[in-house]
Chains A and B, each alone.
Chain A
Amino acid sequence: MTSLPTNSPTKKLGLVIDLDICVGCHACAVNCKEWNTSGHSAPLTDQDPYGADPSGVWFNRIHSFEVENEKTGGRTVNFPKSCLHCEDAPCVTVCPTGASYKREEDGIVLVNADHCIGCKLCSWACPYGAREYDEDAGVMKKCTLCVDKIYNPNLPEESRVPACVSTCPVGARSFGDLGDPNSDVSKLVESRGGYDLMPEQECKPTNKYLPPRPKKQGSPENDTMALTPMADSSAGVISRWVDKFLSA
């Protein structure tokens, strides 16, 4: 049954992405591709890899946006996006074959490549663009939350995390159980005001985004801070020093 798990999973594994520190380096995207091209959904096919129109299957992609605000000035925000492992995942319910499903045990949304007919409907249903059609294989693929890595006893502990998470050089990505309010990731989300993308689409994404922090200290709108000169002229400054140090 491709309906969602009847009793929605208590464990909701997912990612927390800190937009305050993401520098947009694409490391998570490439490391993801690297792990997954021989992983559960292998291969992440590339079309025309050396030609005019290279394109391939990626589970994670990095956008960058400019945000303009006349009052506070603008900012640039780098924005990684992969599957958000939604609680009410429309990609699952629209799937006519049952190939798209949400795991009962941890809420991970996966595609069973042996059953997928490649109708692409799930990619239409996902508001976030998290589904990746592999033209060559004729099936839909997507972020697996590295399901073949996070539980894998053949890897050392520090590798049993999603590839994108352990590789992120700035540490902008965290991974854990967002269904457990006492987990560290939940606390992180709580303390940083983590939010959902497009809540109005009512998918209840598991992944959370941490907003950029307010800017520190002074800013151009508040340019009043200045040091007090000790003398009016440069000659004055120096003679003051002479007085201060030589007559001490």
Chain B
Amino acid sequence: MKDGIVTRDQRVDTAPFVSDEVKLTTCYMCACRCGIKVHLKDNQVRYIEGNPDHPVNKGVLCAKGSAGIMQQNSPAKLQKPLLRVGERGEGKFKEIEWSEALELATGWLKDVRDKDPSRLAFFTGRDQSQSFTGWWASQFGTRNFAAHGGFCSVNMAAAGLYSIGGSFWEFGEPDWDLTKYFLMFGVAEDHDSNPIKMGLGKLKTRGEAKFVSVNPIRTGYSSIADEWIGIKPGTDGLFVMALIQELLKSDNVDWDYLGRYTNAAWLVIQDPGSAQDGLFARDKDGNAFVATAKDGLKSVQDTDADPVLVGEYQLESGQKAVPAFQLMAERYLSEDYAAEAVSEKTGIPAETIRRIAAELAKVAFEEEIVLDIPWTDWAGRKQEKMIGRPVSMHAMRGISAHSNGFHTCRAIHLLQMLLGSIDVPGGFRHKPPFPKPCPPGPKPAGHESKANTPLGGMPLGFPQGPEDLLVDEQGNPKRIDKAYSWEYPLAAHGLMHMVIHNAWASDPCEIDVLFMYMSNMGWNSTMNVPDTVRYLTDKKADGSYKIPHFIYSDAYHSETVAYADLILPDTTYLERWDCISLLDRPICSAHGAADSIRQPVITLDRDVRPFQDVMLDLGVMLGLPGMTDDTGAAKYPGGYSDYMVNHERSPGIGPLAGWRGEDKSGQGRGAPNPDQLNSYIENGCFWEKHFTPEQSYYKFANKAYLEEAVYMGFMGAPDPVVMQVYSETMQKFRLAAQGHGDRQPPEHLRERVGEFFDPLPLWYVPFEEEGLDEEKYPLHAVTQRPMHMYHSWGSQNAWLRQITARNPLFMHVDTAKELGIEDDDWLWVKSPHGRVKGQAKLMTGVNKYTVWTWNAIGKRKGAWGLKDVAPEATKGFLLNHIISELLPSKEDGYRYSNSDPVTGQAAWYDLKVSIEKCQEAECGETSPMLDAQDAIPNKSDCLEISRYGAALSGAPSGKDSLPHEEWIGNREENASSSSGIRTGHGNRIAETQGEEGTK
């Protein structure tokens, strides 16, 4: 018994073949849009890895992206168009041919278009082709279009765009390389999934920056923060305003920055009762006045003027005016925003607030960064250096998903402005196409709706005053979701969360066809599951459904599928062309503009079609102008990929910016290039154009950048973007509420508009909490996104669901102790709207007044290709069962949407609950428990055992092993903080050495 018999041959094949082919495309396991390399074998996915050259992810891949294989193998994939045969909600369907499906849809849609196109409500959820779907809607002629932004984070988008011309989401990023202090509010994951992770890793490894996370929960990003501030939900505005007070009191503001780049110096008319009160004092050309210490009032256009930010001035009209800054300072210097005053409400000790303010000031003003990069401002003034205040901030749904989120977000932007830290070295940086003019444009289209007539513009836009609202003579909403009405005037992304309710209630109007795409509105993206399924299934006296037709496009067997009449099955992201365009939500970074495509990498094996192709086909069948030529023939006969290449929004500007023109040299502009897609594919499916160092910062006022932005079509003119400390747009609405102008809110809305359209950031108690019995519902309840799950669609994934197949209700140990609750106990979570059952998990890293759970893990039985006994359906739960899309009724019986009064953003995280232990007999299964929905026809079986990969193992190549290469995650950053480590990213030292070496 010697070695021979034992070890036989323990040599491992270290050099197997990996795949037949590697195709590059773009991930869509979430909206982050990372570049991926898909290794293929026999038309099956062998391995997906990040594309190291891709600007978004630089080779990394998250858990979702890595699980793409199992999405492709999901038993929940739809197979063929489906026509409902049972009642809505049962999920009984029969398979039909595409021809029949398209004819049916065209029939319903044609009817509508002949009558009144706005009787189509077309809402597109997690759409990455909004510039296309929005354009389709406008060609159809319906104003009733939006994507998911209204329930997602329109507060962040709108507050940002109306304040600084850009916003958080993935539209800006901290200067990861240079920032020294990073303050993050309410982020668990965000759309910039990989970039944020890469950035945090970098920032922490550099070792010189402090990272503070303000979040009721200490998990994920907050777990690696240097300081965790476990704030009470909904109170961030107060915290930020207290910080502002500290900075103001101690003179720690960037006076020059405020004077030059914001409207802090602009004079605001102080004439209570007049129609000009609170508006900027302007000259006859409409330019605002500023005051100077020596030369009196000057126009903002006077580039020599050195404005002062305080004082009281007399205008020619005799009216008084003060700089916006002074109004702002007066407000936040008030005792209401003293650290002590906000301490209890926010749950943050006054000392901590003071210290954070001091830390911010110290980093911003004592540790300023100076880059030797000369640049020229919009007015032609040469600057020798770029000054950086290395404080950066980021915020997302922890701020936006509250009914006071718009103002809170504006407060954060104000804080950034005071510190002079927007788009400067070390600060928050815009990503192109931002910054955009502020207040933003264009305005929403859709005042009129005429039979068979396109809209005059795109349905979504940005009102700049009451005149831009979509309301009728009486001030009533015109859109089905009441966006751009007096209730939600700046609803820049629409209110998708209200569509089903409003359509059911025929309030404010009726619709005939509800057409949805890629949004699970019957489950996790509705605020109110029990009522929403009722709205969808409710019938009129004559037995017909209250919402007459419901067409839905999904790729998988989601809960919403069960409620639709007609299903248009989509492909997976590996099977189709897609276009991630500068015209909607591009993949740019602060370093430059970029866009990308998806190409089909797997051959279709089912009778499903790419949704965008189907929309073009429907467009042709309906004879929509943009999609047909004079003869009525298809303008893009090649489908969506044809559109991607040949469509032009304005001459020379199309969906894709790269390789335009005959000679492929056009970047941003140029004639369509028939070979454009090949150029993309050769380049890894993306295009990117870097800024020059000169264009990189101060973009809002940087001539070199502004000219580039005009060339690229991001802006109409190279004018500076003036950031709005004080929002005149808001004041215009307020004036209307006060009785000025010819467009005024209806009586019952005057007070509301007057109150919430404050030109300066405001804090108020979130609506749900207002008037609620604190004793009865003492706890805040919020959700967080698991980093490895994308909303509902991760649970069908055999790998991801092994990580999280059920969600507990997390709560603080002390809170639990008071209630006698232990780990795994079954609990009732009660809100004024209902109750839901789940199991407890105790922890310490959570605000004591907050309970939380992972989002969208709970599933309806029968959905997502899972077995009925899946823990997602039996143990997991959705908080959405106890939220409501409506607030309790006002005195007049009216129920407002549970949304921000400025933007219509859904206020998910205003929820308050109480917790109660279940009775013995109630334990074991979640509740409410809907009946199982039927399986789709010809559903592929759920495997009992999955041996995926066994057949894809690589044969030996016979080649020699290569020596191993060392690889260090953050090599460059480690090199700078630990001695002796070579620089260069990852293992690409050789390649980057030269570049880095010269640094």
Interface residues of A (CB under 8 A from B): 1-2, 13, 18, 20-27, 29-31, 33-40, 42-52, 54-56, 58, 64, 66, 68, 74-78, 97-98, 101, 103, 106, 110, 112, 114-115, 136, 144, 147-148, 150-155, 157-161, 163, 165-177, 183-185, 187-188, 191-192, 212-213, 215-220, 223-231, 234, 237-238, 241-242, 245-246, 248
Contacts and interface: CB of A to CB of B under 8 A. Distances in A.
Interface in B481-504: none
Given A154-B959, A168-B969, A52 B869 contact: yes
Given A50-B798, A155-B18, A159-B49, A40 B13 contact: yes
B200 A24 contact: no
Given A160-B962, A167-B60, A230-B249, A220 B349 contact: yes
Contact of B333 (A172, A175, A177, A234): A234
Given A174-B969, A241-B310, 9 more contacts: A21-B205, A27-B60, A30-B67, A31-B66, A101-B10, A158-B987, A171-B969, A176-B968, A234-B249
Nearest to A247: B293
Interface string B976-996: 011111100011101000000
Contact of B310 (A22, A51, A56, A238): A238
Contacts of B663: none
B31 interface: no
A177 B359 contact: no
20 contacts: A21-B200, A26-B63, A29-B63, A30-B63, A38-B47, A43-B949, A46-B945, A46-B946, A50-B75, A50-B796, A66-B843, A75-B845, A157-B965, A160-B962, A165-B969, A167-B49, A185-B968, A224-B355, A227-B357, A228-B250
Interface string B484-528: 000000000000000000000000000000000000000000000
List of 10 A-B pairs having minimum Cβ-Cβ separation, nearest first? A171-B969, A234-B333, A170-B201, A37-B949, A223-B351, A76-B223, A151-B961, A169-B197, A227-B250, A191-B978
B246 A76 contact: no
B320 interface: no
B60 A110 contact: no
Nearest to B247: A227
B999 interface: no
A74 B252 CA distance: 32
Nearest to B329: A238
A2 B247 CA distance: 68
Contacts of B660: none
B92 interface: no
The contact size tier of chain B is: 35 or more
Given A38-B952, A173-B969, A188-B978, A45 B13 contact: no
A50 B77 CA distance: 13
Tell me which of A45, A46, A224 has the highest count of chain B C-beta atoms within 10 A of its own C-beta: A46
Given A38-B46, A246-B308, A216 B226 contact: yes
Interface string B788-803: 1000000010111111
B52 A158 contact: yes
Given A21-B224, A187-B979, A51 B953 contact: no
A51 B867 contact: yes
Contacts of A1: 3, 6-7
A44 B990 CA distance: 34
Contacts of B351: 220, 223-224, 226
A55 B358 CA distance: 50
A157 B865 contact: no
A54 B798 contact: yes
B945 A47 contact: yes
B235 interface: no
Given A30-B799, A153-B962, A169 B62 contact: yes
A48 B798 CA distance: 9
Contacts of B962: 151-153, 160
A38 B954 contact: yes
B210 A216 contact: yes
Contacts of A110: 10, 12
B63 A153 contact: no
Interface in B357-409: 357-359, 361
B894 interface: no
A234 to B, nearest CB: 3
B355 A223 contact: yes
Interface string B937-967: 0000011111111101110010111111111
Given A218-B355, A220-B349, A230-B249, A50 B210 contact: no
Contacts of B16: 148, 152, 154
Nearest to B973: A171
Contacts of B787: 23-27
A172 B969 contact: yes
A188 B968 contact: yes
B995 to A, nearest CB: 16
A42 B952 contact: yes
Contacts of B3: 1
Contacts of A25: 62-63, 197, 220, 787-788
A49 B798 contact: yes
Interface string B294-310: 00000000000000111
Contact of A78 (B41, B60, B209, B223): B223
A215 B805 CA distance: 34
A51 B864 CA distance: 11
Given A26-B788, A34-B69, A165-B967, A234 B334 contact: yes
